[in-house]
Structure 1
Amino acid sequence: MIALRELTTIKDLEQLEKIERNVWDMPPLPIHQTLTAVKNGGIIIGAFDKKEIIGFSYGFAGFKDSQTYLCSHMLGIEEEYRSKKIGEQLKRQQQEIAIRKGYSEIHWTYDPLETRNAYLNLTKLKGICSVYMENAYGEMKDGLNKGLPSDRFEVHWHISSGHVREAETVNYKNAVPLNEVNINNGLPSCTVFHEEQLTEDIYGFEVPKDFQHIKSENQEIAMEWRMLTRKIFQDLFRAGYAAVHLIPGKYTATYIFVKENTLNLGGHK
Structure 2
Amino acid sequence: MIELRELKQRDELLEVQQLEQLVWDMAPIPLHQTMTAVKHGGLIIGAYSQQQLVGFSYGFAGYTEGEAYLCSHMLGIHPEFRSQKIGERLKEYQRKVALEKGYHRIIWTYDPLESRNAYLNLTKLRGICSTYIENCYGEMEDGLNKGLPSDRFEIHWYIDTPHISTEPTRNERDAVSLGSISWEEDHPMFYPTGEVMDAPVYTLPIPKDFQSLKQQNPELAYAWRIQTRAVFQELFAKGYCATELVQGQDENRYLFVKQSMLSLGGTPL
Question: Where on the TM-score scale, by shorter chain, does this alignment land: which range?
Answer: over 0.9
Sort the Cα spacing of 1:170 and 1:262 in 2 relative to 1 into closer, same or farther, 3 A: farther
> What is the aligned partner in structure 1 of residue 163 from structure 2?
163
- Which residue is 2:207 aligned to? 208
Partner Cα distance (1:185, 1:47) in 2: 41
Aligned pair 1:57/2:57, yes or no?
yes
Indicate the residue corresponding to 1:151 in structure 2.
151
Asked if the contact 2:178–2:193 (Cα under 8 Å) also holds between the matched residues in 1, the reply is yes
- Write the distance in 1 (CA, Å) between the matches of 2:18 and 2:169: 42
Q: Which residue of 1 aligns with 2:244?
A: 245
Structure 1 gaps, min length 5? none
Report if aligned partners of 1:186, 1:251 keep a CA contact under 8 Å in 2.
no
Measure the CA separation in 2 of the matches of 1:224 and 1:65.
36
Runs of 4+ in structure 1 deviating by more than 3 angstroms, as ranges, are 167-170
TM (norm. structure 1) is 0.96
- Match runs of 1:59-74 below 5 Å: 59-74=59-74
State the 1:252 CA deviation.
Answer: 1.9
State the distance in 2 between where 1:181 and 1:166 align.
Answer: 30
Counterpart for residue 141 of structure 1: 141
1:26-105 equivalence runs, <5 A: 26-105=26-105
More off after superposition, 193-202 vs 224-233: 193-202
Aligned residues with identical type, % of pairs: 53
Task: Give 1:125-140 correspondences, 5 Å limit.
Answer: 125-140=125-140
- Equivalent in the alignment of 1:108: 108
Alpha-carbon deviation of 1:206? 0.6
The CA deviation string for residues 199-231 of structure 1, in whole angstroms up to 9 with x for no partner, is 001000011111111111111111110001110
Match of 1:227 in 2: 226
Q: Which amino acid aligns with 2:109?
A: T
Letter matched to residue 250 of structure 2:
Y
- Write the distance in 2 (CA, Å) between the matches of 1:128 and 1:197: 19
Q: Distance in 2 between matches of 1:244 and 1:33?
A: 33
In the alignment, the residues of structure 2 paired with residue 104 and residue 118 of structure 1 have an alpha-carbon distance, to the nearest angstrom, of 21
**Which is worse superposed, 10-19 or 169-178?**
169-178
1:182-201 matches, within 5 Å, as 182-191=182-191, 193-201=192-200
Asked if structure 2 preserves the Cα contact closer than 8 Å seen for 1:210 and 1:251, the reply is no
8 Å CA contact 1:60–1:72 kept in 2: the answer is yes
Q: Give the aligned CA root-mean-square deviation in angstroms.
A: 1.4
- Report Cα offsets for 1:12-48 as digits up to 9, x if no partner: 2111121011001111211111111111111100000
1: distance between equivalents of 2:82 and 2:196? 40
| Deviates most, 116-125 or 6-15 | 6-15
Number of corresponding residues = 267
Corresponding residue number in structure 2 for 1:218: 217
**Unaligned 5+ runs, structure 2:** none
TM-score, normalised relative to structure 2: 0.96
